[in-house]
Amino acid sequence: MPAKLPWTLEGAAGSPSHTQATLEVLTDAMPQMVWSTRPDGFHDYYNARWYEFTGAPRGSTDGEGWNGMFHPEDQDRAWSRWRHCLDTGEPYEIEYRLRHHSGEYRWTLGRALPVRDAEGRITRWIGTCTDIDQAKRAAEQNELLSRELSHRIKNIFAVISGLIGLTSRHEPQLRPWAKDLQHRIAALGRAHEFARPHSEHSRPELGDSTLHGLLSEIFRPYPAFDDGRIVIRGDDTRVDDRGATPIALAFHELATNAAKYGALSTPEGRVTVGVEATGADMRLRWCEDGGPQIEAPPTREGFGSRLAELSIVQQLGGQMRREWPRPGLVVEMVVPAAHLRRD
């Protein structure tokens, strides 16, 4: 026998019995499991999908019996969240493992909203359970594949860096060049790890996937960053793998040059990176101060400077301008915000 609904739609057309029958057909026709509780959280209705999924005898999960259907590791969390929603009236939403009639536990998305009367009092909670097990396991598999791919890419970076180091040992004249190249490869590796897709479990050591987060990751190897002598200020925006690599290369070159010749080559030197959103563009300003005084602009452009400009202008379609006031180098960059991410 189908369960009888303990509620009807207020103001619905037709006789109460007709409305009741219509609602029972509607809830039983839904692909989701549907349930309902009193204002205090006492479960007094489940549709046919609930009993088909769980295989539980009708009525056995009324009251608080529903919690026993969850995986033991999820019961306290689900109960705590449900009690919080009952106390506050907040919408209920949680993922948990629900026991299937086969005996296995399947991932389920539980949602519920309160029904209120004209005075705002909660008269009932109506909720659904949706089987998301296949999607959840596919996401877990994708995460494993992503981590494995990232691990292999990091190994490639390590192999390339090792080959460069091995070559430089046999060719001493190449050692300064090799060291710089190894540092650039390391910066690309950090950009890759920052920009690749992450789950809640794989992200802890990284900042948010934003411009500020990426810059922090690039500057982290420099002692001046921990000392507070590299400061990032201003607006922020999302960044993914499209913009991460050129931004990482450009700012790695600026930081490296500052550490060798500019503001970061002295204990008192500072670098400020300002970010400003201007319409569809992001304006980035690199400003050095407190380092060796600049007497005149350089007479030639080094490889690192050309690489930085290549990254900003050609790869990101932006603009880049350098100035050499006496206190320190100033670099202005304007980059279309849409070119920093794929969507």
Question: What would the pLDDT profile of 149-201 be if each residue is shown by its tens digit?
Answer: 666 666 666 667 776 776 777 777 777 777 767 666 776 676 666 655 545 54
Do 269 and 258 contact (CB within 8 A), yes or no? yes
The per-residue pLDDT for range 77-94, each reduced to its tens digit, is 999 999 999 999 999 999
Which candidate, 278, 289, 282, places its Cα nearest to that of 316?
282
149 token code pair: 């791919």
Angle between helices 175-195 and 211-219 (to 10 degrees): 150
Dump pLDDT digits (tens) for 194-235: 655 545 544 434 445 789 988 988 888 888 988 999 999 999
Task: Name the H helices within the chain.
Answer: 16-29, 48-54, 72-88, 133-170, 175-195, 211-219, 223-226, 241-260, 303-309
Cα gap 128→61, rounded to integer Å:
15
